[in-house]
Amino acid sequence: MLLSNLALAFVTGVISSFGHCLGMCGGIVAIYSARQAAQTPPGEPQPGLLARIASFLPLHLGRITTYTFFGALIGLAGSLLDQASGMMGWQGIFSVLVGIIMLLVSLSLMGILPPIEATLVSLTKGNTPMTRMRGLFGKRSFFATLTLGILWGFLPCGLVFAMLVLAARAQSLLGGALTMLAFGLGTVPTLLGFGLAANLLSPKLRGRLQSFAAILLMLFAVQTVLRGLAVANVIPSFSYGQVMLW
């Protein structure tokens, strides 16, 4: 199950980064890039491509570190809950609940349900890390850029929430951490080259890619629910050859 988690997380990160992530986080990358360019003294040439890419690495390292940390916490919580439910014979209930949450998030990403971001912002009463991020955009130090990335990882995001639910499905500290690490790594290529991607991909195509990622998440949500029902002996397990589907 861990391998399927990692594959889903990484593929979702790659696909959704062209749609959801580019729309949600492209602005952050654009502001950072513009502020960094403005720091170059007059008369001096702008940094080359490799130097610009290197300047973004601490930013993404900080963001992925936050994702991985939360993934470890939610994976550990899933493990503890699974152990507790095991003592009571409720392992299937946990799997069904995780699947239902994943299904609701996928419907939100498809636009059928309201955006998860709006709900998350309302729950935090509008208090987001963006206010602390503003003073770090123009700084060039490694620590400032890393801190900016760490704060970026705390911004409310429906897709990150969906991946955290997937991390809970791993039911281990390591599995949860690796799930979020895989997701974060999947989003890096597009966010690094977002300017080129934004010019090549139309908003309509990016929307289709986001819908595809949501459908992929929905399929795993259904599988998770069916697996939980099978564990609870509500339905029989089903295998295709050597692969157990649920």
**pLDDT tens digits for range 105-156:** 788 878 888 777 666 666 666 566 666 777 777 677 889 889 999 998 888 7
Q: How far apart are CA 45 and CA 54, in angstroms?
A: 17
- Work out the percent of the chain whose per-residue pLDDT is above 70: 69
Q: How far apart are CA 187 and CA 180, in angstroms?
A: 11
Asked if the model's pLDDT at residue 7 lies above 60, the reply is yes
Please state the rounded mean pLDDT for residues 43-59: 75
Q: Are 12 and 217 in contact (CB under 8 A)?
A: yes
Q: Give the three-state DSSP class for 214.
A: helix
**Burial class of residue 46 (count of CB atoms within 10 Å of its CB; 0-12, 13-18, 19+):** exposed
- Work out the percent of the chain whose per-residue pLDDT is above 90: 14
Higher pLDDT, 138 or 192: 192
Q: Are 93 and 232 in contact (CB under 8 A)?
A: yes
As given in the structure block, the two tokens for residue 70 are: 């939360």
